Structure 1
Amino acid sequence: MYARILGTLTLTDGLRTVTPRAPKQRQLLSLLLLHAGQVVTVDECVDELWADSPPLSAHSTLQTYVMQIRKTLRSAAADTGAPAEMYLETRDRGYLLAVGPGQLDLHQFEKLVEQASLARIVGDHTRESELLHRALGLWSGRALADVTCGPLLRTRLSGLRETWLGALEQRIDADLRIGRHHRLIGELRVLTRQYPTYENLHAQLMIALSRSGRTADALEVFARLRRTFSTELGLEPSARMRDLHADLLNSVPVTESVYLPGPDSTPVPLRPAG
């Protein structure tokens, strides 16, 4: 059994797709998959499925959805003749979806990002880049793009989006460190327009442009960032960004280790355009 949530919701037994079709079942399965290996309480399930307006039959209806998901998992395991490594347990006041190793794309993504971070710490940026390319390649669009989301899923997905962006930023940083600046420019131009107040992406673009002999373009990136900060936030870019700008003006060679966060840095919160 294998489940995908980093894109559209997909549940497959290796031979066929067995993803539930009913919207509420899909929503509940998504909640359980995002918390795989953890107990999700009955109250949390009800809150996710019906928010502030649960029907009087909410608990019995929830039990029906659980029974249907459990039946799907058991049926898929029986059809393949393999041990049921993905199964839904009833726990005290809640439910736990047990997922075996390699059965959920989110777990694969998290493992690859963790391995990449270890490679970063020891300075193996080629391996770091390779691992992060693999991790990000597991995504096929917005997570749970075809699932109706209630309050719990929306909160969890917001955090997951931040994790994706952090991995993307780290991958770009690794690619810069191994000399792939030319091929990053187009990607970073798109990202800096999508996240117009995110300084790290702008710093990466400025460094990539500078390394490519396009200092004037790098200075224009800073000018656009400064205008955005002034107009939208009433602020100036950080001292780090102003130092990068000054070094470019003075033809001082720039390096990632000076202007980009180190391996233990806390990611900067992201705010998309609009």
Structure 2
Amino acid sequence: MDLRIGVLGPLTVTVNGTSVVPTAAKPRNVLALLAVRAGQVVPVPVILEELWDGHPPTSALTTLQTYILQLRRLLETALAGVADPDGGAKSLLRTAFGGYQLAAPPEACDVAEFDRLGQMGLRALELGDPATAQRLLREADRVWRGAALLDVEFGPRLQAEARYLEDRRITLVERRTEAGLAIGRHSELLGELAALTTEYRLNERFCEQYMRVLHRCGRSVDALGAFRRIRRDLTTELGTEPGPRLQHLERAILGSAPERELDFGRAQLVP
């Protein structure tokens, strides 16, 4: 039996090449929650919160059991005609004490590949090899097919799971762009950092990187403009000022600081 799970983009769950993702919204949410926690037991109260946001109807448990039955029927259809010594649909979607579990090895989910490549990339940074780190971290980012669970309408639990996955992705993108800057690929990253600072307007790390690469490309005026934009956005939306790193960088650019004060070297790779 071949089970594949994808949550880094549209939800995909296939068994022997056949999709088992339901079209109805609430069963789809149940499967998405089980998929994003594949291999773990998801407690019934967690599933109920996802489906009804803290206000379950009196029939909630019976309705959840119906959704589980519908998912198992989809699994049975995908397994039809295939000998499964492990016990069929109930062995894949298990009833456990207090909850349900989508039984899957870690490598069945795309998150595992993202984590594997990400950890290898971070290890390369620790070993002082930013070129290898950039390559591996770019491969990790390519595992994503869009926003996490792109085609699922979130309840509170899935929203938190998707945000957690996105935060992990952003962290690795920050490290990858730092690695690229460390090996001098300024013009290569110029367009990407312009897009990142537009998408993540309040992310100071991306703004810092963008300012540095603009300055290195002889566009100091544009670098200072990027600082003014994030300062305006932070003040307007959060009531805060840019952090010390950004403020120091602005002063260094304004004062035409020596090259060492704008260094992209290994020290910049430290979180």
TM range (shorter): 0.7 to 0.9
> 1:133 and 1:17, CA in 2 relative to 1: closer, same or farther beyond 3 A?
same
How many Å separate the matches in 2 of 1:68 and 1:205? 49
Post-superposition offset of 1:37? 1.9
CA contact (8 A) 1:74 1:87 kept: no
CA contact (8 A) 1:51 1:150 kept: yes
Partner letter of residue 66 of structure 1? I
When the two chains are superposed, the root-mean-square deviation of aligned CA atoms in Å is 2.5
Post-superposition offset of 1:194? 2.6
Q: Residue 264 of structure 2: which of 253, 256, 265 is its match?
A: 256
CA contact (8 A) 2:125 2:269 kept: no
> 1:220 and 1:148, CA in 2 relative to 1: closer, same or farther beyond 3 A?
closer
Post-superposition offset of 1:55? 2.5
How many Å separate the matches in 1 of 2:239 and 2:98? 49
> Which residue of structure 1 lines up, in the alignment, with residue 57 of structure 2?
55
Post-superposition offset of 1:73? 3.1
> 1:240 and 1:83, CA in 2 relative to 1: closer, same or farther beyond 3 A?
farther
1:138 to 2:143 alignment? yes
Post-superposition offset of 1:153? 0.9
Partner letter of residue 63 of structure 2? T
> 1:234 and 1:31, CA in 2 relative to 1: closer, same or farther beyond 3 A?
closer
> Which residue of structure 1 lines up, in the alignment, with residue 156 of structure 2?
151
SS at match of 1:40: strand
Aligned counterparts, 1:96-245, within 5 A: 96-245=101-250
Give aligned-pair identity as a percent: 38
> 1:177 and 1:92, CA in 2 relative to 1: closer, same or farther beyond 3 A?
same
Structure 1 stretches of 4+ moved >6 Å: 82-86
> 1:192 and 1:62, CA in 2 relative to 1: closer, same or farther beyond 3 A?
same
Gaps of 5+ in 2: none
Gaps of 5+ in 1: 266-274
CA contact (8 A) 2:8 2:145 kept: yes
Post-superposition offset of 1:140? 1.8
How many Å separate the matches in 1 of 2:128 and 2:80? 47
* Length, aligned pairs only: 263
Partner letter of residue 250 of structure 1? S
Post-superposition offset of 1:10? 1.4
